[in-house]
Amino acid sequence: MTKTKAVSAWAALLTARALIVDEVERRLAEAGLPELAWYDALWALERAPAGRLRMHELASQMVITRSNISRLIDRLEAVGLVARERDAEDGRGAFALLTPAGRRKRADMWKIYGPTIAKLFDDQLSQEEAEAVRACLLRVIAARMRA
Amino acid sequence: MTKTKAVSAWAALLTARALIVDEVERRLAEAGLPELAWYDALWALERAPAGRLRMHELASQMVITRSNISRLIDRLEAVGLVARERDAEDGRGAFALLTPAGRRKRADMWKIYGPTIAKLFDDQLSQEEAEAVRACLLRVIAARMRA
DNA sequence: GAAGATTGATTCCTCAATCTTC
DNA sequence: GAAGATTGAGGAATCAATCTTC
């Protein structure tokens, strides 16, 4: 209930994330690349079977609202990184489908994003520490998912 | 350059943060309280000497743009949680100053925010793990600050 | 002319209402 | 009538331009 430490683990997490995201965004913009939100969407699609996801699936993976995903896909579609596809089995549903251009763009972004995270985050931790942090956070995620 | 793990520590951090922030926002809204961004601003001011900060100091602590802070303070000022104060020594500068109402509002928000973090985050980790995660993240923050 | 802050225009996000298909 | 997705309207974030004081 009361703050026990000057800076809690949670507060440190928020600050670390904000600082790093800020720097990643800066470097992406500098390289003439889109913002991180686009990367997240493209990467979620690339991981998915057949490179496509239903709108609500994509939204939940990105922890974003459903209406927001419609407009995000609008913008990605407008520049040809994603295509919309109606679901043949359920006429209500729509897929977002990664295009070859979208696949290439994600790879280009990773060339900036990956090394930046490696330098600012991973390089600050030993292998064991990174693994421990990862395990802790996966447990936090699992607990939330269960709820 | 290539992804070495299915879910890296960094990816887990992003997901954990998004899920928890989402739930905190939901509970704050449910309790009729303002959003988390307001809490961050109020808390930054409360920690500061005399409960006030220059606009650019507040902006940098929140990792937010300078123009954004002007409008955020506009809103906080409009409902009496913060007051503006000109700097007597440097006529260009302006302070954001926490009001008593602002202090009370932050405390009210913490009654929701604190226990939520305790439950969703801290309770998932042992004392040692929390301390280890905290130490790691503080190191990440320090490295970024130095740059 | 540079630092500190604000404002105007644009883009983006969010809520509620809508449309379509089940 | 409910699930899935989109749209319209209002609020918030961003960029560049502006104003003021140093």
pLDDT digits (tens, 9 = 90+) for A68-94: 999 999 999 999 999 999 999 999 999
Give the pLDDT confidence score for residue B6 in this predicted structure: 73
Q: Which distant-in-sequence residues (6+ apart) come within 8 Å of A36 by Cβ?
A: A21, A24, A25, A28, A113
Q: Are strands A52-54 and A94-98 parallel, antiparallel or unpaired?
A: antiparallel
Give the sign of the dihedral formed by CA A60, CA A66, CA A68, CA A71: positive
Give the pLDDT confidence score for residue B30 in this predicted structure: 93
**Is residue A5 very low, low, confident or very high in pLDDT (cuts 50, 70, 90)?**
low
Which B-chain residues 126-145 have CB contacts (< 8 A) with chain A? 129-134, 136-141, 143-145
Q: Which amino acid is at B90?
A: D
> CA-CA distance, B96 to A123, in Å (whole number)?
37
- From the CA of B103, how many Å to the C1' of D9? 34
Contacts of B8 in chain A (CB under 8 A): 117, 122, 134
Q: Which distant-in-sequence residues (6+ apart) come within 8 Å of A63 by Cβ?
A: B15, B18, B19, B22
DSSP letter assigned to residue B83: E
Q: What confidence tens digit (pLDDT) does each residue in A11-62 have?
A: 999 999 999 999 999 999 999 999 999 999 999 999 999 999 999 999 999 9
CB atoms B1 and A143 under 8 Å: no
Angle, nearest 10°, between helix axes A9-30 and A100-120? 130
**Is residue A147 very low, low, confident or very high in pLDDT (cuts 50, 70, 90)?**
confident
The residue in chain A having the minimum alpha-carbon distance to the alpha carbon of residue B114 is A1
Give the pLDDT confidence score for residue A66 in this predicted structure: 81
The reply to whether B37 touches chain A by the CB within 8 Å rule is no
The reply to whether B68 touches chain A by the CB within 8 Å rule is no
Structure tokens at B97: 């100053």
The reply to whether A19 touches chain B by the CB within 8 Å rule is yes
Neighbours of A113 (CB within 10 A): 20
Mean pLDDT of A104-110: 98
Strand C contact with A67 (CB < 7 A): yes
CB atoms A9 and B139 under 8 Å: no
- From the CA of B143, how many Å to the C1' of D19? 37
Contact A25, A39 (CB under 8 A): no
Give the pLDDT confidence score for residue A1 in this predicted structure: 46
Asked whether the predicted pLDDT for residue A7 surpasses 90, the reply is no
Residue (of A107, A116, A120, A122) closest to A33 by Cα position: A107
Starting at the earlier edge strand, list the strands of the sheet with B52-54.
Answer: B52-54, B94-98, B82-86
Asked whether the predicted pLDDT for residue A118 surpasses 90, the reply is yes
Q: What are the helix (H) ranges across B4-126? A: 9-30, 36-47, 55-62, 66-78, 100-120
- From the CA of B78, how many Å to the C1' of C8? 21
**Is residue B3 very low, low, confident or very high in pLDDT (cuts 50, 70, 90)?**
very low
**Is residue A3 very low, low, confident or very high in pLDDT (cuts 50, 70, 90)?**
very low
The reply to whether A80 touches chain B by the CB within 8 Å rule is no
Q: What burial letters (b/e) apply to A38-63, b meaning 16+ CB within 10 Å?
A: bbbbbbbbeebeebbbebebbbebbe
Give the Å distances, CA to CA, from A26 to A23, A112, A116: 5, 10, 11
CB atoms B133 and A136 under 8 Å: yes
Work out the percent of chain B whose per-residue pLDDT is above 90.
Answer: 88
Contact B140, A20 (CB under 8 A): yes
